[in-house]
Amino acid sequence: MEPSYLKEFESGSLEEKAEAAWEILRKCRFCPRECGVNRLEGELGFCKTGQTALVSSFGPHFGEEDPLVGQHGSGTIFFSFCNLGCIFCQNYELSHYGEGQKTSPEILARQMLHLQAIGCHNINWVTPTHVVPFLLKALLIAIPQGLCLPVVYNCGGYETLESLLFLENIVDIFMPDFKFWDQQVSQDLTQAPDYPQVARKAVKEMYRQVKDLILDNRGIAQKGLLVRHLVMPNNLAGTEEIMKFLARNISPNTYVNIMDQYRPCGQAMEHQQINRQVLSEEWEQALKWAVEAGLSRLDQRRRRRRG
């Protein structure tokens, strides 16, 4: 299956999108926080990222979902800083302190081409929401040099519909987290009380663009939606409601990874409800809720590990 961005490049649409996205940085509204700062002049909003993207690391990753990893790994590029800023983030040094190197679109293009050259099955943009304009410019450079892997948009689910439209026919695989169902929990843990409403709209738009996850004959993802959900202590994430939403409002064939790896990081130890790991019974209950909701395409990697 040929990545959609090749046709967008050939038609000139990709260049138009890259230019329009770049202009939005002058009064940034690329995420729901709508900070309105001029990032092209070095002004910083919530994401603390100005006119240059920061990359903390890139390379083949074998800890991602089965359909992304395959034999040669998912070609991940980890971006520093974040538009969400969860207080318990397991990559706290990256998302809050911005550990990483300033990276131009030219360097991003070289990184993507390198990941393709070493055999990765996809290009996996990790935490990309605040750097979409840089990525579109990087694609303009990489495509004429032979880039032809599916692109994975690996985000926190806090996206505007406007920014997602820039990604239509560009991103092949959307992989959002759906973190919280409750507004107060979202406010307490991310300072984003509108997260539940925003994530519902964003996941619907992602599904409209790419539909259910399609695998090739090797079991490798080519196009579609893959949703991650991190089980939280004391069911703070609202797992049951999220599973019902995915089954009823998106698709019962949604591929879902119900993750059990929560551990207290960042500021989590300061908050009584999240200062411990997830219990086995909490994770097992999350799986039951998914099945009861009608979801059947659940990522198997952690189920095998638990077994």
The pLDDT assigned to 33 comes to: 97
The pLDDT assigned to 98 comes to: 84
- CA–CA separation, 285 vs 291, rounded Å? 10
Q: What three-state secondary structure class fits 69?
A: helix
Give 136-191 as a DSSP string: HHHHHHHGGGT--SPEEEEE-S---HHHHHHTTTT-SEEEEB---S-HHHHHHHHS
What is the residue whose two structure tokens read 């949703």? 227
Q: What three-state secondary structure class fits 118?
A: coil
CA distances from 90 to 80, 182, 233, 244 (A): 13, 21, 15, 27
The pLDDT assigned to 283 comes to: 96
Instruction: Look up residue 31 and give its two tokens.
Output: 């995420």
pLDDT at 304 over 50: no
Relative to beta strand 173-176, strand 151-155 is parallel
Give me the CATH topology for the region 5-306: TIM Barrel (3.20.20)
Instruction: Please write the tens of the pLDDT for every residue from 183-218.
Output: 999 999 999 999 999 999 999 999 999 999 999 999
Q: How confident is the model at residue 305 (pLDDT cuts 50, 70, 90)?
A: very low
**Amino acid at the residue 36:** G
Instruction: Please write the tens of the pLDDT for every residue from 43-100.
Output: 999 999 999 999 999 999 999 999 999 999 999 999 999 999 999 998 888 888 888 9
Report, as an integer, the average pLDDT of 141-153: 98
- CA–CA separation, 258 vs 40, rounded Å? 38
The answer to whether 172 and 139 have CB atoms below 8 angstroms apart is no
Calculate the CA 40 to chain-centre distance: 24
Which pairs from 16-20 meet CB under 8 Å and 24+ separation? 17/136, 17/166, 17/170, 18/133, 18/136, 18/137, 18/139, 18/140, 20/166
pLDDT at 281 over 90: yes
Report, as an integer, the average pLDDT of 6-28: 97
pLDDT at 41 over 80: yes
pLDDT at 303 over 60: no
The pLDDT assigned to 301 comes to: 67
Q: How confident is the model at residue 302 (pLDDT cuts 50, 70, 90)?
A: low
CA distances from 226 to 38, 142, 293 (A): 33, 25, 17
The pLDDT assigned to 96 comes to: 86
Ordered by start, the domain boundaries in the chain are: 5-306
Q: How confident is the model at residue 150 (pLDDT cuts 50, 70, 90)?
A: very high
